[in-house]
Amino acid sequence: MIEIDWAEEAGRLRASAAGEADWNAAVAASLVRDGDQVVADVGCGGGGMAKALAEALPAGTTVVAIDADPEVLEQARQHTAGLVRCELASMDAGAEPLRQAIAAPADLVWASASVHHAADQQAAIDALASLLAPGGRLALAEGGLPARHLPWDLGIGEPGLELRLDLAQDEWFKVMRESLPGSVPMPYGWTEALSRAGLTDVTTRSVLTETPAPLPTGRLDELVNQFRARIERMTGTGAGHAHGHGHGHGHGPVVTGDEEWLEPADLEVWRQLLDPEGQYYLGRRRDLAVLSVRSVHLGHAAR
């Protein structure tokens, strides 16, 4: 069983909001359009996209950042520094609390890596779609391709370490979904879910992000911390970790039971790779890179 403590993730989500500023700005610029008056980021995490949307829109546009956790929302409030209105509401409670938080039909609703935390993902998408003004857009950032950072052969352990971590993370995600009270399977893709919510002109655009090796020191440190957090997820230790199915809200897990996500030999390799005093510390390598492809699924409400 996996439970999620969002309060423990608040600081990491704030850091992610800052670290992904360029991606957020580029995507926000592609989503907004002339005439937008009300925009909402549901499941806003650290507020990165809410801030980017506010900066991409003219002064006077209402941008609302919504999250279900008070401590996460406080981090978003600090990060957005008065550019947006921050409201506490949960997607799990249906459309009405979200509607009250926004206080007007939305021209654009953004939800990044938050819908997959809803027990009934289709019901959550239906609720989000119901918040739209005529002709409004719902954009879901979910899925993409597993990011790549490490050489296949690290000179320690069996080659393909990052691939095995991705597989373990996928198994972890499956159990996380099954652990949600009242979990409902959604055996179809995001574009189909948007269509079932009554939206039209549904499409997907995937965005590639690449930072080649050698990474700048700050980016390298951030990447090492992301790997450390992912390993903490696999072992049920520590407070946080990097998100595995999209960016935005991560998972802050407490793992109970007998799950063993990684082989002991791989865990020992990760221990050495993440030890700043060790011979194989990732933070001293010059061959780590960032290559990720993230997908944004977009649907339009009828006019």
The pLDDT of residue 3 is 64
Residue owning tokens 């239906």:
126
Q: Which helix (H) or strand (E) holds 239?
A: none
The pLDDT of residue 58 is 94
Q: How many residues does the chain have?
A: 303
Are 212 and 270 within 8 A, CB to CB?
Answer: no
The pLDDT of residue 256 is 41
Q: CA-CA distance, 188 to 137, in Å (whole number)? A: 21
Residues 115-130 pLDDT 10s: 999 999 999 999 999 9
DSSP per-residue codes, 90-142: -GGG-HHHHHHHH-S-EEEEEEES-GGGSSBHHHHHHHHHTTEEEEEEEEEEE
Cβ within 8 Å of residue 290, ≥6 positions away: 147, 149, 209, 210, 211, 215, 219, 223
Residues 189-243 pLDDT 10s: 999 999 999 999 999 999 999 999 999 999 999 899 989 988 987 887 653 333 3
**pLDDT < 70: residue spans in the chain:** 1-15, 17-18, 237-259
